[in-house]
């Protein structure tokens, strides 16, 4: 779904933070379903079979509760993407049973995500049109599966080349702009499903502008079930009773929606349709468009967005983990790639480390990666044991789940949070949204990055240093100091990090920004992540020299310039 601010852990004693404190992921959506336990000084749980023997009970309970959240979301995401409903369950089962034992994040949950709906829905539509008027209803879907296969192969290559850190190149405002667009896309499409109306427009703005007419044409009781589901979802999350927190709100809403759907005798077209057996839902990808430009476009788009989301979410889960176990991002790319390759071959959606289910997994007390495996196993059992119940789920109830997910991505509060980090960050966010609306998701992201670079130049960055870090290393009395000159911005953070990691002193490390001309928000965010990583490893990392720089906003990590 998305990544966001976490409850910040206590400030480590051996880290002095001049620019801010704690870890600070890019946005505000990653909230645990239940309050995570505090950090512990105990050794982390054993991995592998030893971890299963020690924590099978807590991991099984967490996996079961997460599967109750995942079940309706997987169905809804698949339908919204133009895939058969069972495709979402295939992905979650593969993500749990196959990818779960060796994923890069110990407590991450792999599965389909709302953040990829915009890409997959557009891919199914595009490939369906290329197939021609005589093609069957699954033509676009089966060609889109080929893009999922190629995405998996590319992610395996990226992981093998150890390029997991490329996610650090994307500044938070660009990533947030992508999420705002995706949120608008989800809301604009699913509102019609909730109302029981077929849209005439295809673009997000066209769909949004057509909503008043759609409301007047709403089909009752379809719209009644959808609106009641949406109101219940928003109300249930405000209940603070301790015992009620163990009951996933989506499950309550779905059960009630099924009862109302049967009472009002909804037509079959407004209900979930599943094959009689899971094997009947497996579809082989169609590689007929392998050499086409749209295939290249959607493969690259899916690789960039899916990898970016999965890596950032895997990293953002670390502060929630009571044992603060780091995520192996290169291993996560390999695992996601293998899972996506298999999902594409079986007829499933692409997978990422999903944010809501992962944070819920931590909140429900998971200890090891076997909770992800248990979640996949319980979903497989649900498809095999209660397929009749799943086919009674009304589509407007699933639309309500996705509309709420879209609102979390695009809510004005998210834009307000970005504004508080500085006007430059808001400009980049809105510019990225505009560019995506003007072109497509991949082109819009690249244009958003280019706009961010242009803005840095206007703020005083030396264009010769946009991709090169000027760092002078000094060692004195057992302490290493890295003096950064000129630019300290998102585009030269990776070269800066390589120079930092080339130092292996046993003593403390100081990063001195006293001679920097411009330090942007993204660079300060990444430094905060580095401090958390060094603290986890028992090392000391100190930031100094920001006092001479003028911040563009009151935020502790706002862009600063001389």
Contacts 24+ apart (CB under 8 A), 443-452: 444/178, 444/181, 445/170, 445/174, 445/178, 445/304, 445/305, 448/174, 448/177, 448/178, 449/170, 449/171, 449/174, 451/427, 452/171, 452/173, 452/174, 452/428, 452/490
Q: What is the DSSP string of 532-561?
A: HHHHHTT--EEEE--TTSEESSSSTT--EE
Cα–Cα distance for residue pair 399/397, rounded to 1 Å: 5
Going through 60-103 in order, the beta strands assigned E by DSSP cover none
- pLDDT tier for residue 504 given thresholds of 50, 70 and 90: low
How far apart are the C-alpha atoms of 404 and 290, rounded to whole Å?
A: 36
In CATH terms, is domain 463-561 a member of 2.60.40.1180? no
Residue 77: pLDDT band with limits 50, 70, 90: very high
Strands, E assignment, 352-394: 352-354
pLDDT of 275 strictly over 60: yes
Instruction: Compute the Cα dihedral for 100, 5, 31, 39 and give only its sign.
Output: positive
User: What are the tens digits of pLDDT across the range 354-394?
Assistant: 988 998 899 899 999 999 999 999 999 998 888 888 899 99
Residue 482 gets the label, from left (phi > 0), alpha (psi -120 to 50) or beta, of beta
Per DSSP, helices labelled H in 81-116 are 85-93
SS3 content of the chain, % helix, strand, coil (to 5): 60, 10, 30
Whether 22 shows a pLDDT value over 60: the answer reads: no
* 353 pLDDT more than 70: yes
Instruction: Give Cα 94 distance to the centre of its chain.
Output: 18
The arithmetic mean of pLDDT across residues 404-431, rounded, is 92
The pLDDT value recorded for residue 19 is 33
pLDDT score for 505: 61
DSSP one-letter code for 98:
I
pLDDT value at 179 more than 70:
yes
Region of poorest pLDDT, from 11-15, 466-470, 522-526: 11-15
The span from the CA of 220 to the CA of 530, in Å, is: 54
Phi-psi region of 110 (alpha: psi -120 to 50; beta: other; left: phi over 0): beta
Local confidence band at 441 (pLDDT 50, 70, 90 cut-offs): confident
Average pLDDT over residues 166-177: 88
> Residue ranges of the domains in the chain?
53-407, 463-561
| Contact (CB, 8 A) for 92 and 379 | yes
For residue 255, give every residue at least 6 positions away whose Cβ sits within 8 Å of its Cβ, in sequence order, or none: none
Neighbours of 311 (CB within 10 A): 29
| C-beta of residue 314 within 8 angstroms of C-beta of residue 105 | yes
In DSSP terms, which residues pair with 480 in a beta bridge? 475, 509
| Contact present, 309 and 167 (Cβ < 8 Å) | no
Return the higher-pLDDT residue of 18 and 87: 87
Work out whether the CA dihedral 29, 118, 439, 340 comes out positive or negative. positive
Residues of the chain above pLDDT 70, percent: 91
User: pTM to 2 decimals?
Assistant: 0.84
Is residue 279 very low, low, confident or very high in pLDDT (cuts 50, 70, 90)?
Answer: confident
What span, in angstroms and rounded, lies between the C-alpha atoms of 294 and 300?
A: 10
DSSP codes joined into one string, 230-265? HHHHHHHTT---TGGGGS-HHHHHHHHHHHHHHHHT
Q: How far, in Å, are 157, 462, 474, 499 from residue 52 at the CA level?
A: 30, 53, 47, 39
Residue with token string 């620019």: 19
Place of tokens 């909140």: 363
How much is the pLDDT for 243?
A: 67
User: Under DSSP, is residue 197 helix (H, G, I), strand (E, B) or coil?
Assistant: coil
């Amino acid at each position: 779904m998305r990544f966001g601010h976490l409850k910040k852990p206590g400030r480590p004693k051996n880290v002095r933070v001049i620019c801010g404190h704690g870890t600070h992921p890019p946005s505000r959506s990653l909230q645990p379903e239940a309050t995570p336990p505090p950090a512990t000084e105990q050794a982390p749980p054993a991995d592998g079979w030893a971890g299963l023997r020690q924590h099978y009970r807590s991991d099984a309970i967490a996996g079961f509760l997460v599967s109750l959240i995942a079940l309706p979301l997987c169905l809804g995401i698949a339908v919204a993407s133009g895939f058969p409903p069972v495709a979402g369950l295939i992905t979650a089962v593969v993500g749990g049973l196959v990818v779960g034992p060796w994923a890069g994040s110990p407590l991450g949950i792999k599965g389909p995500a709302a953040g990829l709906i915009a890409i997959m829905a557009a891919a199914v539509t595009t490939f369906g049109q290329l197939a021609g008027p005589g093609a069957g209803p699954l033509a676009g879907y089966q060609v889109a599966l080929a893009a999922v296969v190629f995405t998996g192969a590319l992610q395996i290559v990226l992981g093998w080349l150890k390029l997991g850190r490329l996610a650090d190149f994307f500044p938070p405002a660009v990533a947030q702009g992508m999420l705002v667009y995706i949120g608008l896309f989800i809301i604009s499409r699913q509102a019609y499903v909730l109302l029981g109306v077929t849209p005439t427009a295809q673009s997000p703005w066209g769909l949004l502008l057509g909503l008043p007419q759609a409301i007047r044409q709403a089909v009752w009781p379809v719209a009644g079930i959808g609106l009641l589901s949406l109101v219940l979802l928003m109300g249930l999350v405000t209940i603070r009773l301790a015992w009620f927190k163990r009951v996933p709100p989506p499950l309550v809403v779905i059960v009630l929606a099924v009862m109302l759907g049967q009472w009002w005798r909804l037509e079959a077209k407004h209900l979930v349709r599943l094959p009689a057996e899971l094997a009947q839902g497996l579809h082989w990808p169609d590689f007929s468009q392998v050499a086409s430009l749209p295939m290249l476009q959607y493969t690259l788009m899916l690789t960039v967005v899916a990898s970016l989301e999965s890596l950032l979410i895997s990293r953002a889960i670390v502060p929630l983990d009571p044992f603060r176990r780091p995520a192996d991002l290169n291993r996560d790319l390999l695992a996601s790639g293998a899972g996506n390759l298999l999902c594409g071959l079986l007829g499933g959606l692409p997978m990422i480390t999903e944010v809501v289910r992962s944070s819920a997994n931590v909140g429900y007390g998971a200890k090891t990666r076997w909770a992800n495996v248990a979640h996949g196993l319980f979903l497989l059992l649900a498809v095999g044991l209660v397929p009749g119940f799943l086919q009674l789920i009304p589509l407007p109830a699933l639309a309500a789940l996705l509309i709420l997910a879209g609102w979390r991505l695009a809510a004005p509060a998210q834009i307000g949070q970005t504004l508080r980090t500085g006007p430059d960050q808001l400009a980049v966010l809105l510019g990225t949204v505009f560019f995506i609306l003007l072109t497509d998701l991949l082109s819009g992201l690249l244009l958003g990055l280019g706009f961010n670079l242009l803005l840095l130049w206007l703020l005083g960055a030396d264009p010769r240093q946009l991709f090169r870090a000027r760092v002078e290393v000094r060692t004195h009395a057992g302490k290493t100091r890295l003096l950064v000159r000129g630019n300290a911005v998102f585009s030269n953070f990776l070269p800066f990090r390589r120079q930092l990691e080339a130092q292996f002193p046993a003593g403390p490390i100081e990063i001195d920004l006293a001679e920097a001309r411009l330090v942007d928000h993204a660079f300060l965010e990444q430094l905060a992540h580095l401090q958390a990583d060094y603290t986890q490893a028992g090392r000391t990392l100190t930031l100094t020299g920001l006092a001479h720089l003028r911040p563009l906003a009151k935020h502790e990590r706002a862009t600063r310039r001389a």
